[in-house]
């Protein structure tokens, strides 16, 4: 009996010991599982505190420290980080007033491929490819037909002054080509805003029809007011509606190679400036002025038919109401305002060599046959001036190259054109000036795009060229008045041309200094 009791007591003790052992084992397993879960959470926390990326690394670290101090859960931290990521994505293409602030360091701020502070990532731009280069081709055709036509205005200055309008003074005749330049650039703010709202399609169609119609009406003109309205206003307005969509579209497709793309496109204006003067001077004696103008109009019609199908925007337009503050606001930015001031002063003199070099050469004894090729020489050299500085600018800085070419233009006007009185120096001047002044057309839009939000490129480019238009309107008449004041001598005109270019260069230097001082820097 005692033995049975002892055995029973031992069994009871063994069962209790076994239960205690099982309990301890389960506790150990629970602790190990708990430790593993804590370790996993710690690893996740470390991964979230130090994520990959640039600026978001710092944001995540600050968020992690903050929420850890507040003893909040990891889930809350993850939600906060996700919210920050969505905000970052939303800032890539901000809207309205916030867009200008968010893009303070703007699209194209430096010629490299690193993301730009403010949300614009250069990787978002195709920067090449069939579609992008097709837009450049269409833009080339647009500039051939618009700016290229305007580049041959010196031929009409000479023809009108010696043939149908010979009873008018040089200053009076010069208002026709000056009005053509003025109206083409004057449309900038309106056509730039229309491009931002609706894209290039309808603008190009409207411009193509109006440009051709104006030239057809010019072919029927015999009186001063008819030439003035048909060529100086109607045709120029059509050229303006062609010019701005092309300039604005290319900026949306390129970032790192933007100046080079603009240069290739702008070479169309140079080649147009070579072909149109030769075409006009050769055809007028053979088929007469009316059919010469019609031939040019048909040529432009065919080229614009191709351009209408190849020029297109990369970003879908977002219509917004027209507000004057959109045009005025950029002028409050020192860098932008100084660029506009520099272009205004530089453009006072830009077209004077194009308008008056033929008359100046003939007054110094150059034959009519040879002098008719001077514009072709200028525009032929500007083909290289449009392209080469653009490629260089993408590597050494667009502002740097703009300043160098502007200064060189002023130097050769004052140092070469002013003292020249024989054929050789005049021809050399035309070649050098064509190259240096050609860089202005290709580099100026890339400067504007470099310091502007991408969705405001159209309106800002338009405002810039509106400032240029004011100088283009008055530059040639002032030159004609100085020519009359100097009794037919070109000294006053040449000095005025050179001094305004020096002033323009100084403003470009000031715009650069606002951004980076006088440091040797790629900008």
- Dist CA 499 CA 410 (whole Å): 7
Tens digit of pLDDT at every position of the chain (523 positions): 333 443 344 443 344 444 444 444 444 444 454 455 444 444 444 444 444 444 444 444 444 444 444 443 444 434 444 444 444 333 333 343 344 344 434 443 434 434 443 445 555 566 667 788 888 899 999 999 998 898 787 788 778 888 888 888 877 888 888 888 888 888 877 887 788 788 888 899 999 999 999 999 999 998 999 999 999 999 999 999 998 888 878 777 776 777 778 888 888 888 888 899 889 988 999 999 999 999 999 999 999 999 999 888 777 777 777 677 777 888 888 999 999 999 999 988 888 898 889 889 999 889 988 888 888 898 888 888 888 888 888 888 889 999 999 999 999 999 999 998 889 999 999 999 999 988 887 788 788 878 887 777 777 887 888 888 888 788 888 888 898 888 888 999 999 999 999 999 999 999 999 887 777 777 7
* Cβ-based neighbour number of residue 84 at 10 Å: 14
Which CA distances in Å does 361 have to 374, 486, 507?
9, 16, 31
Q: What is the rounded radius of gyration, in angstroms, for the C-alpha atoms of the chain?
A: 34
Per-residue exposure over 149-178, b if at least 16 CB sit within 10 Å of its own CB, e if not: bbbbbbbbbbbbbeebbeeeebbbbbbbbb
The number of C-alpha atoms within 13 Å of 83 and in the hemisphere containing its C-beta is 7
* Cβ-based neighbour number of residue 18 at 10 Å: 10
pLDDT at 78: 46
- Dist CA 205 CA 207 (whole Å): 5
Phi/psi of residue 105, each to 5°? -95, 100
Residue with tokens 């076994």: 18
Q: Are 363 and 488 in contact (CB under 8 A)?
A: yes
pLDDT at 151: 78
* Cβ-based neighbour number of residue 71 at 10 Å: 6
pLDDT at 20: 45
Domains and CATH numbers, the chain: 124-312+325-516 (1.20.1250.20)
Write out the H or E segment, with its range, that includes residue 50.
none
Six-digit token pair at 319? 């219509």
pLDDT at 225: 92
Q: Which of 326, 349, 308, 320 is nearest to 440 (CA)?
A: 349
Q: Which of 417, 304, 400 is nearest to 352 (CA)?
A: 417
Six-digit token pair at 351? 């077209």
517 by Cβ neighbours in 10 Å (0-12 / 13-18 / 19+) ranks as exposed
Which residues touch 336 (CB under 8 Å, ≥6 apart)?
A: 330, 448, 451, 452, 460, 464, 511
**From its phi and psi, is residue 291 left (phi > 0), alpha (psi between -120 and 50) or beta?**
alpha
Residue with tokens 């308008």: 355
The number of C-alpha atoms within 13 Å of 489 and in the hemisphere containing its C-beta is 10
Which residues touch 514 (CB under 8 Å, ≥6 apart)?
A: 334, 335, 338
Q: Are 391 and 260 in contact (CB under 8 A)?
A: yes
Determine the 3-state secondary structure of 517 from DSSP: coil
């Amino acid at each position: 009996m005692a033995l049975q009791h002892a055995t029973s007591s031992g069994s009871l003790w063994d069962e209790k010991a076994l239960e205690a052992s099982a309990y301890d084992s389960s506790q150990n397993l629970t602790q190990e599982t708990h430790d593993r879960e804590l370790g996993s959470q710690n690893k996740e926390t470390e991964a979230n505190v130090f994520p990959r990326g640039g600026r978001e690394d710092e944001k995540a670290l600050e968020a992690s420290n903050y929420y850890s101090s507040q003893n909040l859960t990891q889930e809350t931290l993850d939600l906060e980080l996700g919210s920050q990521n969505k905000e970052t994505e939303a800032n890539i293409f901000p809207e309205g007033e916030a867009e200008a602030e968010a893009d303070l360091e703007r699209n194209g701020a430096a010629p490299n491929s690193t993301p730009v502070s403010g949300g614009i990532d250069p990787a978002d731009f195709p920067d090449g490819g069939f579609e992008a280069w097709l837009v450049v081709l269409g833009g080339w055709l647009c500039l051939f037909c618009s700016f290229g036509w305007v580049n041959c205005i010196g031929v009409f200055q000479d023809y009108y002054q010696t043939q149908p309008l010979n009873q008018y003074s040089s200053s009076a005749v010069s208002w026709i080509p000056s009005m053509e330049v003025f109206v083409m650039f004057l449309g900038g703010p309106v056509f730039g805003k229309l491009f931002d709202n609706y894209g290039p399609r309808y603008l190009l169609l409207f411009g193509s029809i109006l440009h051709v119609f104006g030239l057809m009406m010019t072919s029927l003109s015999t009186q001063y007011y008819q030439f003035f309205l048909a060529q100086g206003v109607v045709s120029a307005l059509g050229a303006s509606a062609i010019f701005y969509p092309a300039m604005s579209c290319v900026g949306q497709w390129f970032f790192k190679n933007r100046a080079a793309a603009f240069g290739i496109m702008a070479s169309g204006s140079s080649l147009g400036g070579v072909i149109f003067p030769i075409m006009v001077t050769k055809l007028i004696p053979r088929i007469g002025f009316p059919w010469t103008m019609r031939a040019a109009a048909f040529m432009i019609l065919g080229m614009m038919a191709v351009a209408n199908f190849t020029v297109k925007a990369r970003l879908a337009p977002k219509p917004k109401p027209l507000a004057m503050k959109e045009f005025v606001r950029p002028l409050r930015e020192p860098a932008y305002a100084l660029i506009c001031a520099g272009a205004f002063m530089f453009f006072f003199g830009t077209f004077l060599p194009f308008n008056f070099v033929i008359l100046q050469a003939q007054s110094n004894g150059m034959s009519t046959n040879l002098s008719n090729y001077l514009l072709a020489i200028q525009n032929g050299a500007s083909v290289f001036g449009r392209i080469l500085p653009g490629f260089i600018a993408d590597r050494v800085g667009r502002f740097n190259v703009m300043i160098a070419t502007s200064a060189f233009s002023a130097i050769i006007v004052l140092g070469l054109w002013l003292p020249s009185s024989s054929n050789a120096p005049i021809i050399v001047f035309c070649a050098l000036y064509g190259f240096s002044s050609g860089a202005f057309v290709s580099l100026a839009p890339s400067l504007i795009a470099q310091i502007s939000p991408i969705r405001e490129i159209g309106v800002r480019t338009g405002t810039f060229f509106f400032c240029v238009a004011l100088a283009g309107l008055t530059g040639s008449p002032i030159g004609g008045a100085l020519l009359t004041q100097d009794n037919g001598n070109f000294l006053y005109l040449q000095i005025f041309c050179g001094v305004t270019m020096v002033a323009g260069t100084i403003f470009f230097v000031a715009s650069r200094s606002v951004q980076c001082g006088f440091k040797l820097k790629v900008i």
